[in-house]
């Protein structure tokens, strides 16, 4: 256990630390050497315990009545919590029994057998991505030109939203997740903030709900709009929360794994060559890319009783920060964790999708998207290198590459 302000534990609260992911990784390695749980006391934040230990994180997530998502599942500073106007009530914001009921409404849609329905769409999006690379003639920004669009198109298709809403949805997602990053947040001059972003989402989804209630279709948006809980129509707040979590959670996360995965291959040309020669390794490589990028940087839990974690006393009401990336770099589980290794035998022990009742609903879909894209891309890549410095979003919640300039030759 480590207490105190002037140490590496500001990697959890300081969004600027995410501008340099390698330095972040080194800092978490330093913390691992001291222990798997760290007390973080920073001005402007309610103190919390940061969990970077792989098995402790899993244990906490499994005990979902002892460690709840309510009331604050995402780290926010005191000022934001105090001045918050917009409220989101989505799967990650609630606990049982409501959580289980909400989740059962759509869980069949996300099962591997149902997700297989999406495979043709994924194949055509992967081919579109290759066609774009051809069009860009050897230079592009992989993060913006390819990785950003692909998962969003998948989500729009899943929800049944028209392609012309693509721009709007992209902007809203980025503004919501990028509230801390000046390049992504809502224009400061507009005098608006995350509350206004949520209000915009709600306006858009009110119309969608009305449309789908009037004319039900066979898409996910219709299922949500016409969803019932205990025989009653889903209240509006929960309905909006559902759209928002599906629209946002399935988008930036998967983009981040795609761009971060490609960057890792460029930095490790031996791995790239091997993956091209042994495409059967792609599913394992995808697990490693997800471990490596861990696009969801944290979720919070609140202890509902006095307890103990890794020998540390935890009091009722204490806030816990689950560092998915920290756990995915735990040297007790992953040998030489800062090495990117597509053939790592235990890559599938990564916990980037979480664990237990809140386990990522879109995990199969995300894996399939990454597998499809890389299966199409790798055989076509003759050469690839950086064409400038990549940049990453300065956010403590969900993030990855903002830019990944590349120069390449296709076969
Ligand atoms: C690489 C991509 C992705 C990563 C790393 C990721 C990660 C996560 C994590 C860490 C959680 C919370 C788990 C927990 O608390 O234990 C989560 C929840 C969730 N994810 Fe994902 N996700 C990804 C892609 C997707 C996709 C494609 C969708 C599709 C719609 C999606 C939908 C959701 C939903 C709906 C939840 C809330 C589940 C609940 O609270 O019951 N995610 N995800």
Helix (H) or strand (E) segment spanning residue 174: helix 166-177
Q: Is residue 2 part of a domain?
A: no
| Ligand 1 proximity of 103 Cβ (cutoff 6 Å) | yes
| Ligand 1 proximity of 365 Cβ (cutoff 6 Å) | yes
How many angstroms separate the CA atoms of 73 and 75, rounded?
A: 7
Q: Is residue 1 part of a domain?
A: no
How many angstroms separate the CA atoms of 335 and 329, rounded?
A: 9
How many angstroms separate the CA atoms of 328 and 211, rounded?
A: 42
Q: Is residue 224 part of a domain?
A: yes
CA distances from 67 to 38, 45, 76, 109, 303 (A): 17, 20, 18, 27, 5
Helix (H) or strand (E) segment spanning residue 194: helix 194-214
Strand partners, 73: none
What's the mean per-residue pLDDT of the chain? Answer: 91
**Confidence band, pLDDT 50/70/90 cuts, at residue 389:** very high
Q: Span 130-148, mean pLDDT?
A: 96
| Ligand 1 proximity of 198 Cβ (cutoff 6 Å) | no
| Ligand 1 proximity of 253 Cβ (cutoff 6 Å) | yes
| Ligand 1 proximity of 242 Cβ (cutoff 6 Å) | no
322-368 pLDDT, tens digit per residue, is 999 999 999 999 999 999 999 999 999 999 999 999 999 999 999 99
Q: Is residue 20 part of a domain?
A: yes
| Ligand 1 proximity of 249 Cβ (cutoff 6 Å) | yes
**What pLDDT does residue 156 have?**
87
**What pLDDT does residue 6 have?**
40
CA 242 to chain centre: 16
**Confidence band, pLDDT 50/70/90 cuts, at residue 250:** confident
Neighbours of 198 (CB within 10 A): 20
Q: Which of 98-107, 187-196, 393-402 has the highest mean pLDDT?
A: 98-107
Q: 266-274: long-range contacts at Cβ-Cβ below 8 A with a sequence spacing of 24 or more?
A: 266/384, 266/385, 266/386, 266/406, 267/340, 268/340, 271/340, 271/341, 271/342, 272/378, 272/381, 272/384, 274/342, 274/343
Q: Is residue 168 part of a domain?
A: yes
Please give the residue range of the domain that contains residue 112. Answer: 8-410
In ligand 1, the atom with minimum distance to the C-alpha of 356 is 16
How many angstroms separate the CA atoms of 330 and 32, rounded?
A: 7
Tally of structural domains, the chain: 1
**What pLDDT does residue 2 have?**
43
| Ligand 1 proximity of 91 Cβ (cutoff 6 Å) | yes
Q: Is residue 264 part of a domain?
A: yes
Q: HEC profile for 71-132?
A: CCCCCCCHHHHHHCCCCCCCHHHCCCCHHHHHHHHHHHHHCHHHHHHHHHHHHHHHHHHHHH
Closest Cα to atom 18, ligand 1: which residue? 360
How many angstroms separate the CA atoms of 366 and 287, rounded?
A: 11
Q: Is residue 284 part of a domain?
A: yes
Strand partners, 139: 407
Q: Is residue 3 part of a domain?
A: no
* Domain containing residue 235: CATH number: 1.10.630.10
Q: Span 211-228, mean pLDDT?
A: 93
In ligand 1, the atom with minimum distance to the C-alpha of 257 is 1
Q: Span 194-204, mean pLDDT?
A: 73
150-186 pLDDT, tens digit per residue, is 999 998 888 898 888 888 787 777 777 665 666 655 5
Residue of 112, 121, 241, 362 with the most ligand 1 atoms within 8 Å of its CB, for mutation: 362
How many angstroms separate the CA atoms of 123 and 178, rounded?
A: 29
Q: Span 220-248, mean pLDDT?
A: 90
**What pLDDT does residue 35 have?**
96
Strand partners, 48: 40
Q: In this structure, what are the phi and psi dihedrals at residue 229, rounded to the nearest 5 degrees?
A: -130, 125
Answer whether 126's CB lies under 8 Å from 373's CB. yes
How many angstroms separate the CA atoms of 359 and 169, rounded?
A: 24
């Amino acid at each position: 256990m480590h207490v105190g302000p002037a140490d590496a534990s500001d990697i959890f609260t300081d969004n600027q630390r995410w501008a340099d992911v390698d330095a972040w990784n080194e800092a978490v390695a330093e913390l691992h050497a001291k222990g798997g749980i760290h007390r973080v006391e920073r001005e402007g934040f309610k103190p919390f315990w940061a969990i970077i230990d792989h098995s402790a994180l899993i244990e906490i997530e499994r005990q979902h009545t002892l460690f709840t998502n309510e009331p604050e599942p995402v780290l926010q500073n005191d000022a934001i919590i105090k001045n918050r106007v917009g409220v989101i009530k989505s799967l990650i914001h609630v606990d049982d029994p409501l959580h289980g009921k909400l989740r059962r409404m759509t869980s069949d849609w996300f099962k591997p057998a149902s997700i297989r329905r999406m495979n043709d769409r994924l194949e055509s999006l992967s081919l579109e991505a290759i066609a774009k690379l051809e069009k860009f003639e050897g230079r592009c920004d992989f993060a913006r030109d390819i990785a950003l669009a692909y998962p969003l198109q998948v989500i729009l298709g899943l929800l049944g939203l028209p392609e012309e809403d693509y721009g709007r949805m992209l902007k809203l997602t980025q503004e919501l997740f990028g509230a801390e990053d000046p390049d992504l947040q809502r224009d400061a001059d507009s005098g608006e903030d995350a509350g206004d972003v949520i209000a915009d989402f709600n306006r858009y989804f009110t119309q969608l709900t009305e449309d789908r209630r009037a004319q039900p279709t066979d898409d996910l948006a219709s299922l949500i709009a016409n969803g019932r809980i205990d025989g009653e129509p889903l209240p509006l707040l929960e309905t909006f929360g559902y759209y928002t979590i599906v629209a946002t959670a399935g988008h930036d996360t998967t983009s981040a794994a795609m761009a971060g995965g490609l960057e890792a291959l460029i930095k490790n040309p031996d791995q790239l060559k091997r993956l091209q020669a042994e495409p059967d390794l792609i599913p394992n490589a995808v697990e490693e890319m997800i471990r490596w990028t861990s696009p969801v940087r944290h979720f919070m839990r609140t202890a509902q009783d006095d307890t103990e974690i890794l020998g540390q006393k935890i009091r009722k009401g204490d806030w816990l920060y689950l560092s998915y990336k920290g756990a995915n770099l735990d040297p007790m589980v992953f040998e030489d964790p800062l090495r990117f290794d597509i053939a790592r035998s235990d890559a599938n022990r990564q916990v980037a999708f979480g664990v237990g009742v809140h386990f990522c609903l879109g995990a199969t879909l995300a894996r399939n998207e990454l597998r499809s894209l890389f299966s199409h891309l790798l055989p076509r890549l003759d050469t690839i290198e950086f064409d400038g410095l990549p940049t990453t979003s300065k956010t403590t919640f969900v993030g990855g590459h903002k830019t990944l300039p590349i120069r390449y030759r296709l076969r």
